[in-house]
Structure 1
Amino acid sequence: MSDDTASPKDTHYAKLRRAHRDRKRADGGLPPAVAPRQARPGKPSPAGRIRLYGLHSVAAAIANPKRKLHRLLVTRNALARLELDSAAIPCPVEIVEPKLLDAELGSEAVHQGVMLEADPLIPGRLAGLSDATLVLVLDQVTDPHNVGAVFRSAAAFAADALITTARHSPQESGVLAKAASGALEHVPHLEVVNLAEALAELSAQGFQTIGLDSEGDEPYEASLAGERIAIVLGAEGKGLRQKTRTTVDRLARLDMPGTIKSLNVSNAAAIALYAARRHLG
């Protein structure tokens, strides 16, 4: 028997020790077990505004001339890390302690000492894609962490836009922006009401619309054609909706030789964007 394998006798004694400890705790001889810390919620954002946090998200928002800023709360250390002159920031700046940001944003927000109150960006429309060659389309992906990560991949591979549906998609928020790590300010966000109609319009504009699906008819690389590509991804679990599957020009799969045959939607987006960029040159 190896050293790290417990014998039946050892297991018996371990049970006795646990029972003895539980009796002493019940009799007041031991302190109660420590309960896990409960997450503390933050304060609601002022009406019509969002709260961005994290160094990359806030720095990118401050540098974006399209972003209307209202108030910056920042610790002295975070302001030094932002490498910005507070006098040049186009909104009031308040130097605060980290505990104030904890109270404003909640205990789960990794704020890195900075919070920016701003207006959300106004989503664009499909008419603005006249010069685009590569776009991403999300079919009811609802997790803001996933959507933020997709934004980040879209920025890394110079996608021209990210398209989501007006319903069943997360609104812009601090959580989404933190996951995007500044990419919200660099990748135009377009919003559509009817995804099937939007895909038909993209096809009419000359885009090859490619839906990624584990049961796709062909490998993704083989589906890449033309000089304008729209990659369509569905939510984890349910994937593309049936209407979307029948609307895209081609339905393709990412072939994976490993034991796991599915990917997080943001990882799938990154792989698909990389291959599409190689195709487009």
Structure 2
Amino acid sequence: MSQIVYGLHAVQSVLKHQSSSVIVLWYDKKRQDQRLQRLLTMAQDYQISCQPAARSQLDQKADSDRHQGIVIEVKEQQQLPLEDLLDTLSEPALLLILDGVTDPHNLGACLRTADAAGVHAVIYPKDKSAGLNATVRKVACGAAEVIPSYPVTNLARTLEQLKQRGIWIVGTAGEAEQEIYDMDLTGPMALVMGAEGDGMRRLTRESCDYLAKLPMAGTVSSLNVSVATGVCLFEMVRQRR
């Protein structure tokens, strides 16, 4: 199977980290700027076929007009099973679990934040969740190609397996009694963020060891999931430094 990736940052990340997966590259034949030329030179160094195309053709291939003049087709890459990845860690695990985030822009933003925070892997359910599509990759600005992501069939079962490995599960919920800033987040941890609007599902909530909330001083009752993810992850980073 193959996927479409578009946008300067996303394509650059694929060329840098997964060049062997690229089947073909298409570029806007009218675009002559240095940023695009650098990517074409990079692709040619890897002996990747670079084909000029009209902008309308790129719109069609990307199913979007936000491709910035470059589109690639890539083969799906195999990655380490999650269990094997955890075995390779030389520091306490830091995982991000997204319970049903359906907006690809939010998923992409969460991946970008997770990469910046040094998260070891992102886990999300296969069903009723955004997948790793071209929009997600574009918004993630290259993070989707470097951070391991695992769509799982049964999220509650996966959480139990993580707990058996000594990883503490911290879920976020507005009604939690503890604030995230009052918790010890220095050990092996998995942070669970709920879906837009609905929050965590019941089975996910019941699988958490702890629930945490962010203090909300204003009139709004909650933050966008990608913003809340950033706040929580970087509190974990701060405590681990």
Q: TM-score, normalised to structure 2's length? A: 0.89
Distance 1:183 1:214, change over 3 A: same
Q: How far does the alpha carbon of each residue in 1:141-178 deviate from its partner, in whole angstroms, 9 at most, with x for none?
A: 12211111100101111111101112222222111111
Counterpart in the other structure of 1:159: 119
Counterpart in the other structure of 1:181: 141
- Counterpart of 1:75 (choices 3, 18, 28) is 28
Distance 1:101 1:78, change over 3 A: farther
- Counterpart of 1:115 (choices 71, 75, 94) is 71
Size of the alignment, in residue pairs?
233
The answer (yes or no) to whether the contact 1:78–1:113 under 8 Å persists in 2 is no
Counterpart in the other structure of 1:209: 169
Q: How far does the alpha carbon of each residue in 1:161-197 deviate from its partner, in whole angstroms, 9 at most, with x for none?
A: 1011122222221111111111011111123221111
Tell me the distance in 1 between the aligned counterparts of 2:33 and 2:135: 21
Shift of 1:251: 0.7
Counterpart in the other structure of 1:96: 53
Q: TM-score, normalised to structure 1's length? A: 0.77
2:81 is matched by which residue type in structure 1? R
More strand by share: 2
2:173 is matched by which residue type in structure 1? D
Is 2:15 the counterpart of 1:55? no
1:65 is matched by which residue type in structure 2? Q
Is 2:203 the counterpart of 1:243? yes
Shift of 1:226: 4.2
Structure 1 gap ranges (5+): 1-47
SS in structure 1 at match of 2:18: coil
Counterpart in the other structure of 2:232: 272
Tell me the distance in 2 between the aligned counterparts of 1:74 and 1:225: 45
2:66 is matched by which residue type in structure 1? V
Distance 1:175 1:268, change over 3 A: same
Tell me the distance in 1 between the aligned counterparts of 2:8 and 2:186: 39
Tell me the distance in 2 between the aligned counterparts of 1:68 and 1:252: 40
SS in structure 1 at match of 2:216: coil
SS in structure 1 at match of 2:109: helix
Q: How far does the alpha carbon of each residue in 1:21-65 deviate from its partner, in whole angstroms, 9 at most, with x for none?
A: xxxxxxxxxxxxxxxxxxxxxxxxxxx221111000011011123
Q: How far does the alpha carbon of each residue in 1:208-232 deviate from its partner, in whole angstroms, 9 at most, with x for none?
A: 2100011112111223344211100
Tell me the distance in 1 between the aligned counterparts of 2:82 and 2:225: 23
Counterpart in the other structure of 1:4: none
The answer (yes or no) to whether the contact 2:26–2:71 under 8 Å persists in 1 is yes
Tell me the distance in 1 between the aligned counterparts of 2:32 and 2:119: 30
Tell me the distance in 1 between the aligned counterparts of 2:187 and 2:226: 23
Tell me the distance in 2 between the aligned counterparts of 1:201 and 1:280: 24
Tell me the distance in 2 between the aligned counterparts of 1:208 and 1:201: 11
Q: RMSD over aligned Cα, in angstroms? A: 1.9
Distance 1:198 1:103, change over 3 A: closer
Report percent identity of matched pairs. 32
Structure 2 gap ranges (5+): none
